[in-house]
Every structure is written in structure tokens, then in C-alpha cells.
């Protein structure tokens, strides 16, 4: 059986098992305290756009720092394609940011327990982006940014891209094939 520090791949199947056996453990491993992790039942349902229609939706988890949601996490079943859910999470981040003056939500994470991706709320490309797509200035900023994703700190004053170093720890975790 294939196993990672977050459990056995055989234990993952539908969205609920990915939430319970992978995401909950991942958030704890990233250093967040119980009070910083808001499960789906405690998150506000917001109206998001889905093509030409709109619907009410809320993510599986929201992570707060300093009483504000800083990023959201959405789990999917092991067989689901994460690309199909980027727009939904982006729409929620946009809706949540539109209720605040300072756009507190910077990131969202999508995972199916096998693949985990982190996105900026306004970019459909997961990071770290390939070097060919980033400028040297952006790469320098990327190296020193977003330690708050891992340690629950307040975000930096500037809004640089997250560090690839942070994503290769637990966030970039994959089961060996």
C-alpha cells in the first residue's frame, strides 16, 4: 500500500475521506491551531458565479489569521480533476474579498488527496509557476514570501508570490507512484 505521512492512499476515496484523512492532517502539520481552522459548517455561504448562473457555495475549510480568512481549502474525491474546480474556488475568494476593504484572502488550495495545488485567488495557474513563466523580479519575491501559509502568521505587507520552498514541504506532497 502507498502511504505518506498523512495516511494511506487506500483510505482515500470520496471528498469526505480526503477532508478527514488528508486535509485535516495537512492543516495541523502546517502548524495551524484548531481556532484558526474553520470547517465547512462554520463558513459563510456566499453567492458565486458558475458560468452564466450563480449559486450559493462554501469551501471545505477556511484558514484564519488575525480573525480574517487568509486562504481557503477545497477537497475533492481522489478521481476528480482539480482543474474542474479552480473557478469555483476563485469565485468564492472574489466574493469574500469583495466584502472586505483589504482583500484578505490571497490563496486557495485544491486537493484530491493525491495531488495538492495552491493558487493565488486571482490566478488560475498553480504555483510555483514554471520558471519560463516568471520574471526574475517575481522569482526573487517568490523566494522570500508567504511564510504565513505554513506557520499561521500575519501576511507580509507587500503581496509577493508564495515561496516555492513552502510548496515543496507538505503542500506539494504527493503519494509515490
Q: What is the pLDDT along the chain (177 residues), one digit of tens a residue?
A: 577 777 788 889 999 999 999 999 999 999 999 999 999 999 999 999 877 888 999 999 999 998 899 999 999 999 999 999 999 999 999 999 999 888 899 999 999 999 999 999 999 999 876 665 555 444 444 444 454 455 545 544 445 545 444 444 444 555 554
Query: How far is CA 25 from each of CA 15, 99, 113, 116, 176, rounded to the nearest angstrom?
Result: 15, 30, 11, 13, 18
pLDDT score of 150 = 52
CA dihedral over 59, 62, 68, 71, signed as positive or negative: negative
| Domain 3-171, classified CATH 3.30.470.20, yes or no | no
Strands 53-57 and 46-50, bridge-based pairing: antiparallel
How many CB atoms are closer than 10 A to CB 37?
A: 19
Taking the whole predicted model, whether its pTM rises above 0.75 is answered as: no
Please state, in angstroms and rounded to a whole number, the distance separating the CA atoms of residues 45 and 92: 9
Alpha carbon of 126 to those of 26, 44, 90, 108: distances in Å? 18, 25, 12, 10
Instruction: Please report the pLDDT score of residue 143 as a whole number.
Output: 43
Domain positions in the chain: 3-171
Amino acid at each position: 500500500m502507498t502511504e505518506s505521512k498523512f495516511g494511506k492512499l487506500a483510505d482515500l476515496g470520496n471528498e469526505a475521506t480526503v477532508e478527514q484523512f488528508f486535509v485535516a492532517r495537512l492543516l495541523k502539520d502546517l502548524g495551524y491551531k484548531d481556532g484558526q481552522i474553520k470547517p465547512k459548517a462554520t463558513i459563510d455561504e456566499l453567492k458565486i458565479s458558475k458560468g452564466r448562473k450563480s449559486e450559493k457555495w462554501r469551501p471545505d475549510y477556511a484558514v484564519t489569521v488575525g480573525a480574517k480568512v487568509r486562504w481557503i481549502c477545497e477537497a475533492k474525491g481522489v478521481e476528480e480533476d482539480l482543474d474542474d474546480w479552480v473557478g469555483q474556488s476563485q469565485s468564492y475568494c472574489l466574493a469574500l474579498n469583495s466584502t472586505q476593504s483589504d482583500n484578505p484572502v490571497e490563496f486557495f488550495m485544491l486537493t484530491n488527496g493525491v495531488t495538492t495545488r495552491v493558487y493565488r485567488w486571482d490566478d488560475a495557474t498553480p504555483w510555483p509557476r514554471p520558471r519560463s513563466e516568471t520574471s526574475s523580479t517575481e522569482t526573487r519575491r517568490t523566494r522570500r514570501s508567504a511564510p504565513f501559509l505554513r506557520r499561521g502568521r500575519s501576511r507580509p505587507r507587500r503581496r509577493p508570490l508564495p515561496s516555492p520552498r513552502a510548496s515543496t514541504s507538505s503542500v506539494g506532497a504527493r503519494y509515490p507512484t
